[in-house]
Amino acid sequence: MENSELIAEFMGLPTEVFNSGNLNYYFKEFNSGTWYEEHELSYNISWDWLLPVVEKCLEKHNNLIDGRDVIDTSYSSIAQALQVVSLKETYKAVVEFINEYNKNK
């Protein structure tokens, strides 16, 4: 599964097939009313797209750890990437977190 599709699924974004063909479109919640084709999802190039995903990862992380130290969890890579303000590294860490989360649910 492509990473943008993986993230959209994790975020619970609805998909729809329109008359223009068999393309899946995802609704981007924080820009109400706008539909995007899969290739237009910009999690890998925009903090505006990625930060809501980071917030959801943190929420899932907090539900999983029950007070354990963040260093021992898959969220630690996200935290480290955020500390150096690297969009590329944060995106990679988010994808790793989601893959790990999906494996364990």
Structural domain of 99: 3-104
- Is the pTM for the entire model greater than 0.85? no
| Count of domains forming the chain | 1
The answer to whether 18 and 25 are in contact (CB under 8 A) is yes
- Local structure of 23: helix, strand or coil: coil
**Residue-level pLDDT, tens digit, the chain, 105 residues:** 489 889 988 998 877 766 665 555 565 555 556 777 778 889 999 999 999 999 999 888 876 655 554 445 678 899 999 999 999 999 999 999 999 889 887
Q: How far is CA 40 from CA 4, 23, 51, 90, 103, in A?
A: 9, 12, 17, 19, 27
The label of the residue with tokens 């029950």 reads: 66
Half-sphere exposure of 64 toward its Cβ, with a 13 Å CA cutoff?
Answer: 19
- CB-facing half-sphere around the CA of 10: CA atoms within 13 A: 29
